[in-house]
Each structure stands twice: as structure tokens, then as C-alpha cells.
């Protein structure tokens, strides 16, 4: 799978035809999706596993990843419930992948494989 991306604001040469094309390999798109997903869920990118498939001409993303959650002893996070955070993460993945690769994402499936508990740090 590759994606051709036209540079924004470039209309081509004097005849109006495109000057060229940039091809992004499927491996590069997978790594971008992995990094974007990790950023959205606040976990290391190495913990995210991504599968990309075709969804009627759009990109379908399936990511298996843990999620960062606050420790139970900490005050409630302002991020909302787990379901709300995952819904926001799906939108972030969809939007950022389009921004970075030019690929339109049709579906984002997040499979949560565990929790990374964020311990409260003490300041001395």
C-alpha cells in the first residue's frame, strides 16, 4: 500500500500539470499511525501495534495498545471517562494521519491491551 500526496499550495508547472508525486510506503504510514496513536493515548510508540487495511478506498486502522490511566489514589483526571478518552483518541488519530500522510482514514479500531498506571510523583 502506498499513498500519493500532493504538496499543498503547489499547482504544478506553467501547463498546470503536477510536478511530481510523493509516495509514502505502507511501512511509513504504519509508523506514523503508531506514533499518533501512542501520542493520543500517552504511551510509548513501541507499545502500539498497528494493522492497516482498505475500507472502501479509505484507510482502516486497527491499533492494539495499552492506555495511560491515573493511579486510583490520584485525583480524577480531567480527560473524562475511558470511553470518552478513546472516542477523542479515535478522532485525533483520524485527523493527524490525514494531516501527516494525506491518507483519509475511514475507521479507527482501538483494542486496549492493558493499562499503564501513572503514579503520582512526590516533590521534595
Domains, the chain, in order of start with CATH, read: 31-116 (3.30.70)
Question: What is the arithmetic mean of pLDDT over 6-14?
Answer: 53
Question: Is residue 118 over pLDDT 70?
Answer: yes
Rg of the chain over Cα atoms, rounded to whole angstroms, equals: 18
pLDDT tens digits, 40-82: 999 999 999 999 999 999 999 999 999 988 777 666 656 688 8
d(CA 23, CA 101): 10
Q: Which band of pLDDT confidence, cut at 50, 70 and 90, is reported for residue 122?
A: low
- The pLDDT assigned to 120 comes to 60
- The pLDDT assigned to 88 comes to 94
d(CA 120, CA 118): 6
d(CA 62, CA 111): 7
Average pLDDT in the chain? 83
* Of 37 and 26, the one with more pLDDT: 37
Question: What is the arithmetic mean of pLDDT over 32-40?
Answer: 95
* Of 23 and 104, the one with more pLDDT: 104
Question: Is residue 9 over pLDDT 80?
Answer: no
- The pLDDT assigned to 114 comes to 93
Question: Is residue 34 over pLDDT 60?
Answer: yes
Amino acid at each position: 500500500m502506498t499513498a500519493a500526496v500532493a504538496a499543498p499550495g503547489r499547482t504544478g508547472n506553467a501547463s498546470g500539470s503536477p510536478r511530481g508525486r510523493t509516495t509514502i510506503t505502507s511501512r511509513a504510514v504504519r509508523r506514523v499511525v503508531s506514533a499518533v496513536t501512542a501520542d493520543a493515548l500517552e504511551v510509548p510508540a513501541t507499545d502500539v501495534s498497528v494493522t492497516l487495511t482498505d475500507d472502501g478506498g479509505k484507510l482502516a486502522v486497527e491499533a492494539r495498545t495499552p492506555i495511560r490511566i491515573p493511579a486510583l489514589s490520584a485525583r480524577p483526571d480531567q480527560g473524562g471517562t475511558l470511553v470518552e478518552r478513546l472516542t477523542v483518541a479515535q478522532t485525533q488519530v483520524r485527523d493527524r494521519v490525514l494531516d501527516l500522510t494525506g491518507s483519509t482514514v475511514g475507521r479507527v479500531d482501538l483494542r486496549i491491551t492493558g493499562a499503564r498506571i501513572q503514579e503520582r510523583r512526590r516533590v521534595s
